[in-house]
Amino acid sequence: MTRNGGKETDIQIAICGSAGDGTIAAGDILKRAMAKAGYKVIAFDVYPPEIRGFGKCISRVRVKSEQAFSLKPLSDVLISLDDSHAIPHVVEVKEFGAVIYEDTPVSMIPEGGHISGHLLSSHIPYGVPFRELSERVTSSARSRNITAVGYLAGLYGMPREVFYDVISDKFKTKPASLTRISIEAFDAAYVVGQDTFRLDEGFLNPPPNKARNGDLMMMSGNGAIARGCMDAGLDTFFGYPITPATTIMERLATELPAKGKRMLQTEDEISAISAAIGAAYAGARAATATSGPGFALMSEMMGLGVMAEVPVVIFVSQRGGPSTGMPTKTEQSDLNIAVFGSAGDGQRIVLAPTNVEGCYKCAGKAFEIAERYQTPVVVLLDLYLSNRYEAVELPANNPFKANCSKPTGKLKKNQPYHRFEITRDFISPRAIPGDKGFRHTVTGLEHDENGRPNDHVHQEMSHKRHEKLLPVARHPGITMSKRFGDKGKVDVAIIGWGSTFGEILEAMIAAREEGIRCAAMKVVLLSPLPLGPINALLGDARKVLVPELNYEGQFANLLTGATGRLVTKLNRVTGTPMHVQDILDEIRRLAGKKKGRQLAAE
Amino acid sequence: MSAENHIVIIGSGGAGSEAALTIRQRDPDCHITQITGSKLPFISRYELPQVFNGVSGWRELLAEPPEYYDKNQITVRRNSWVDHVDAKNKKVLLKHKEEVSYDKLLVASGGGGYLPEGLREFQPLMNGFGTYEQAVKVRQALPKKGHVIMLGGDMTGLDLARTLVAVGHRVSLVVGEQLFWPHEVTDDQRAKFVSVLEDMGIKVMIDKKVTAVKLGGRGKPARRVVFDGGGGIDGDVVMPFCGLMPSLNFMIGADVDIERGLLVNPELKTTNDSIWAAGDVCQIWSPEENSYLFYYGWHYIKEMGKIAAINMTGGKKKISTYQDDHLYINKQGEIDSPYWMYR
């Protein structure tokens, strides 16, 4: 592989094509191969809501020696499988970066329709006969995407064996001939790439050779959720498909039955959560997954889960809203409905992982927490996190505990069982239907300790349902908030949640390198908020910045409401992840420094 | 893309680049497109020897930084090859099957290294020196104190030879008919200049006819040049420097007159009203000589680009067809000429 003065590898490749070009598949092969080679990888695919043959697909893969927290706004390499879609993305290639494209199109191109006419002066063009290479080896142009990956791998000296493994694995359920010709197509283009004189400034040094404790796996956020569910012993899942949550259900539809457990696709989201609550009431570890519009339908049943103290887990992957909104675009605008959405004072627990590894942990821990605190737990994702891939190292031993419910103990003779007993920690011993001697009633009406409808105890029972949740911030084995960067007093504190935290972390690191005293905090527990560490950071900060992908500043409002501290909001609803540069510019402004563009001009 | 007021320049070398800038200065609003096979923005071939002289990357050799083209709104279509020119419909057809319309066309495609017929079959074993990539490949092929065998001896090669010798490599020059090309020298001058080359440390081999270039034997340098009548010489790299040949195949059938180069009048217009030519690709009518002549040298090439641009934007300027091209030995004892450029 190419060496470049011992610098750390940090190269981002964007593959852009039309639906049906195999764009996402090419990105998938690339990211899995790079993870297999030992690099840290983060990847994100953007695809259209339409059917095959329409719309733009982009797969972005960032390959690093060390942990990557976010995608870069500018890629080092752009591969075009369809110039009409890729041309607008040429400006997203950095100076002296590479643009790789088809230079033997099958038919005439309209004037201005070829990507070579749109490159910036600093870009390095690599024209490659993808189609010819594919046809020469496979007698078909269908392997153009594989030749594109092969050329890239040869150009940068990537180890070809890992690609062989990934391609073989990808096509293992297809006829063996498909694997063979795919590898031949890859090889043919690899040689062309290897023989190309490279002029761009991207490079790939060998990956660091670090000892690992567990398995390093390439996983999407939704894949990690499914894996966390399985490791936590999920018994049953009910769902209704909706982008971008569907892949959780798809994965569980194959994995749960293989373990003798159940997945049922219901007729709608209301049925899904109702069934999940019913299963959880009956003692099963149960979950559902949806997106904003589906969660809006579930909100009534969320109230039942709170009132009836049923430990159910709901995964919500956010997309652009309101209403049908932007199904294939990312956003963080369902925080309010996740925290507040139901009738009455329906406080519940809301977790929001910030990366793929966090998805795994939050998924598994959500079941422990739901059982321990006997309430619905919402795990809040978004499309950017659900669909992005990272190389994650999962623990060698299963980190999740089975059955975390508060035990009932043995009843004395004629001692009645109070399902909703107000105890010192406000958590009631939980029996499930069928436990001998623990007969009880459950209702959505306000009820007394026995579960009998009673309006007169509403004050006490509301207090119980809220107070029992407060210790959740100390639940073992999960980080509910974490501070990074400078200790003590800082000029700027950046507080974030969900997928945006990766960009926040990169911006904070860049700001510190510029000499700005700053710290960043990720908040995983969004309800109830971990106010101790949050207030400690606010006390240290001259200015507080809250970047998030919604228009209203939902988390900023939540913070200000809970702490009384005014914060600076940074909001974007472009359907794409937050740009590191935008956050960095705002940090500089709050710290009294000039913006990046001004600094560059000077 | 509108074809209105669109000036297309084929080539991004000295003539094409000078023309683009001159056109922009004279017409701020027109659309300028340069088409070049190079992957890089313009690097003068005269700068390429610097690759052996401490230059670590191509960015150091650029004639202008990339932002220069954006600032001057000059679109440079790199890595693009012209298949043919449809003069009737005023279109340039690129090899990747895209047409580019033009109002006026300047052909400044320069020339590629000329290889005598007897050497052509050995081309894969020889290194060219027309691009940055080729220069780097030579550098990579040369070990420390490596040995370069040059065939021919045109002025581009001799310029490189100076640098190679200065940085510790050995150079052997197998003299051909092209020695000191494009200058014409008398036998007396030739002997004098050869002596200067030998003083510089270049081994000059006269009266040797090359019959083959082969791979080197086991444990020997990578190449062997075989001479007529037996014998030969071993080296790490073999490079032909036999002059230039105009790059104009794509102009065949384009409604312009061609001899060896594109024929142009002193205003650099071809026999087609919408097409001009400049640089190594054209032969200019010389009233003094009553024939079409090639003109060479960095300064003259740039001048051609400038004058073509002036005339394409409404001017009427003729290029001088007199060129002082005599070789001489300068005060530093080096071979020099009024138009050649040495560092």
Would you identify the CATH topology of the domain A10-194? Pyruvate-ferredoxin Oxidoreductase; domain 3 (3.40.920)
- The model's confidence at residue A241, banded by pLDDT at 50, 70 and 90, is very high
Identical topology for domains A216-478 and A481-601: yes
Who has greater pLDDT, B269 or B321?
A: B269
Q: What is the mean pLDDT of residues A589-593?
A: 93
Percent of chain B with pLDDT over 90: 73
- The model's confidence at residue B325, banded by pLDDT at 50, 70 and 90, is confident
What's the CATH number of domain A216-478, 3.30.470.20, 3.40.50.970, 3.40.710.10, 1.20.1250.20? Answer: 3.40.50.970
- In this complex, the residue of B77, B78, B97 whose CB is nearest that of residue A105 is B97
Distance from CA of B203 to the nearest CA of A (A): 32
pLDDT at B1 over 70: no
Q: ∠ CA(A196), CA(A197), CA(A200), 5° rounding?
A: 110
Percent of chain A with pLDDT over 70: 95
Q: Verify whether the Cβ–Cβ distance B39 to A117 is below 8 Å.
A: no
Q: pLDDT averaged over chain A?
A: 93
Residue written as token pair 């530093």 = B332
Q: Domain A481-601 is in which class?
A: alpha beta
Distance from CA of B20 to the nearest CA of A (A): 15
The pLDDT value recorded for residue B207 is 84
Residue B42: closest C-alpha in chain A: A121
pLDDT at A601 over 50: no
Q: What is the mean pLDDT of residues A163-181?
A: 93
Q: Verify whether the Cβ–Cβ distance B101 to A111 is below 8 Å.
A: yes
Q: What is the mean pLDDT of residues A33-61?
A: 82
pLDDT at B3 over 60: no
Which residue in A243, A245, A155 sits closest to A192, CA to CA? A155
How high is the ipTM of this complex? 0.91
The pLDDT value recorded for residue A142 is 86
For A:68-97, CB contacts with B below 8 A are 95-96
The pLDDT value recorded for residue B321 is 87
Residues 6+ apart with CB under 8 A from A523: A352, A480, A481, A495, A496, A497, A529, A530, A534, A555
Please state which of the ranges A266-270, A314-318, A498-502, B204-208 shows the lowest mean pLDDT.
B204-208
Residues 6+ apart with CB under 8 A from B100: A111, B1, B8, B33, B35, B77, B91, B92, B93, B94
pLDDT at A159 over 60: yes
CA separation for the pair B298, B333 (Å, rounded): 22
Which domains are seen in chain B, by residue range?
A: 6-112+245-312 (3.50.50.60), 115-242 (3.50.50.60)
CA separation for the pair A379, A530 (Å, rounded): 16
Q: What is the mean pLDDT of residues B109-124?
A: 92
The pLDDT value recorded for residue B188 is 87
3-state helix, strand, coil in chain B (%, to 5): 30, 25, 45
- Tell me: the pLDDT tens digits for A188-214? 999 999 999 999 999 999 887 765 656
Q: How many CB pairs under 8 A join A and B?
A: 66
pLDDT at A460 over 50: yes
Q: What is the mean pLDDT of residues A292-317?
A: 97
Who has greater pLDDT, A278 or B44?
A: A278
Q: What is the mean pLDDT of residues A350-354?
A: 98
Q: Verify whether the Cβ–Cβ distance B70 to A120 is below 8 Å.
A: yes
pLDDT at B285 over 90: yes
Coil, helix or strand at residue A542: strand
pLDDT at A419 over 90: yes
Residue B73: closest C-alpha in chain A: A121
- The model's confidence at residue A582, banded by pLDDT at 50, 70 and 90, is very high
Q: pLDDT averaged over chain B?
A: 92
Question: Which residues of A are less than 8 Å from B83 in CB distance?
Answer: none
For A:108-167, CB contacts with B below 8 A are 108-114, 116-117, 119-122, 124-127
CA separation for the pair B171, B162 (Å, rounded): 9
Which segments of A268-355 does DSSP mark as H helices, in order?
269-281, 292-307, 335-340
For B:65-124, CB contacts with A below 8 A are 66-70, 75-80, 94-101
pLDDT at A386 over 60: yes
Q: Verify whether the Cβ–Cβ distance B1 to A126 is below 8 Å.
A: no
Which residue in A374, A369, A373 sits closest to A442, CA to CA? A374
pLDDT at A75 over 80: yes
Peptide bond into A577 cis (omega under 30): no
The pLDDT value recorded for residue A597 is 47
Chain A interface disruption, residue of B32, B39, B56, most A CBs within 10 A: B39
- The model's confidence at residue A414, banded by pLDDT at 50, 70 and 90, is confident
Please state which of the ranges A1-10, A220-229, A313-322, A354-363 shows the lowest mean pLDDT.
A1-10
pLDDT at B150 over 90: yes
The pLDDT value recorded for residue A218 is 87
Q: What is the mean pLDDT of residues B100-123?
A: 94
pLDDT at B280 over 60: yes
Q: How large is the angle between the packed helices A580-590 and A501-513, nearest 10 degrees?
A: 50
Chain A interface disruption, residue of B96, B97, B102, B131, most A CBs within 10 A: B96
CA separation for the pair A9, A7 (Å, rounded): 6
pTM for this one? 0.87
Please state which of the ranges A14-23, B85-94, B333-342 shows the lowest mean pLDDT.
B333-342
CA separation for the pair B139, B142 (Å, rounded): 5
- The model's confidence at residue A455, banded by pLDDT at 50, 70 and 90, is very high
The pLDDT value recorded for residue A495 is 98
Question: Which tokens go with A224?
Answer: 């990690």
Residues 6+ apart with CB under 8 A from A304: A277, A310, A444
Q: Verify whether the Cβ–Cβ distance B101 to A117 is below 8 Å.
A: no
CA separation for the pair A117, A114 (Å, rounded): 6
CA-to-CA dists, residue B321 to A156, B267, B296, B300, angstroms: 50, 11, 11, 10
The pLDDT value recorded for residue B337 is 81
Which residue in A573, A569, A594 sits closest to A584, CA to CA? A594
- In this complex, the residue of A116, A121, A126 whose CB is nearest that of residue B66 is A121
- Tell me: the pLDDT tens digits for A101-145? 999 998 999 999 999 999 999 999 999 999 999 999 888 888 999
pLDDT at A49 over 80: no
The pLDDT value recorded for residue A140 is 85
- Tell me: the pLDDT tens digits for B154-201? 888 888 998 999 999 999 999 887 788 888 888 888 889 999 999 999
Q: Which amino acid is at B134?
A: Q
Residues 6+ apart with CB under 8 A from B285: B263, B264, B265, B266, B291, B292, B321
Q: What is the mean pLDDT of residues B309-320?
A: 96
The pLDDT value recorded for residue A51 is 47
The pLDDT value recorded for residue B343 is 45
CA-to-CA dists, residue A338 to A291, A461, A578, B327, angstroms: 11, 22, 21, 85
pLDDT at A413 over 90: no
The pLDDT value recorded for residue B341 is 57
- The model's confidence at residue A600, banded by pLDDT at 50, 70 and 90, is very low
Distance from CA of A129 to the nearest CA of B (A): 10
The pLDDT value recorded for residue A2 is 46
Cross-strand partners of A468? none
**Cβ atoms within 10 Å of B171's Cβ, excluding its own:** 25
The pLDDT value recorded for residue A1 is 44
- Tell me: the pLDDT tens digits for A506-548? 999 999 999 999 999 999 999 999 999 999 999 999 999 999 9
Q: What is the mean pLDDT of residues A412-426?
A: 93
The pLDDT value recorded for residue A56 is 86
The pLDDT value recorded for residue A486 is 98
Measured in degrees and rounded to the nearest 5, phi and psi for residue A463 equal -60, -45
Give me the residue spans of the domains in chain A: 10-194, 216-478, 481-601
Who has greater pLDDT, A281 or B112?
A: A281
